[in-house]
Amino acid sequence: MTKQVRDWNKDMKLSAELHAIGSPLELEEIAIYWMNQYAAEKERADKAEYEKRMLIQTMLKGDRIIAELQEDLQAAEAREKKLRETLEFIKGITTKAPAFSDSAYAHFEACETLSSLYPKEEEGK
C-alpha cells in the first residue's frame, strides 16, 4: 500500500481505466486508501461532535449556576435591606424614647426580624 497523498478525481479516473483492463490489485490499494481516509475523517468528525456536545452541556450548566447565584444574591440583598430597616427602626426608638418599654419592644422587633431572616433550619448550616 502506498503512503502518498491521493487525488480523489485521479483515483476515480484510474479506477475506471483499471476496471476496464481488470487490474484488481491497484483498485484494492485505492479502495483501502480511501476507506482509511474516510475512517480518519469520521473519527475526527465524531470527536468534534462530542466536544461540541460537552461544550454545550458545560455552557448550560454554567447558565444554571449563574441563575442560582443571581437568586441567592437577590435573597441576600433583600435580607440585608430588611436588616438595615430594622436596625434603623431600633436606632430611632432607642434615641428618641430611651424608656425601658421602648427598648424592650426594640429588642423584640430585632429578634423577630433576625428570626425571619435566619430561620432555625438554617442555623445548623
Q: What pLDDT was estimated at residue 94?
A: 63
Lowest mean pLDDT among 7-11, 40-44, 118-122: 118-122
pLDDT at 99: 58
pLDDT beyond 90 at 19? no
Across 77-88, average pLDDT:
85
The residues spanned by each domain of the chain are 8-123
Could you read off the pLDDT of 48-75 as tens digits, one per residue?
999 999 999 999 999 999 999 999 999 9
Confidence (pLDDT) at 1: 46
Three-state secondary structure string covering the chain? CCCCCCCHHHHHHHHHHHHHHCCHHHHHHHHHHHHHHHHHHHHHHHHHHHHHHHHHHHHHHHHHHHHHHHHHHHHHHHHHHHHHHHHHHHHHHHHHCCCHHHHHHHHHHHHHHHHHHCCHHHHCC
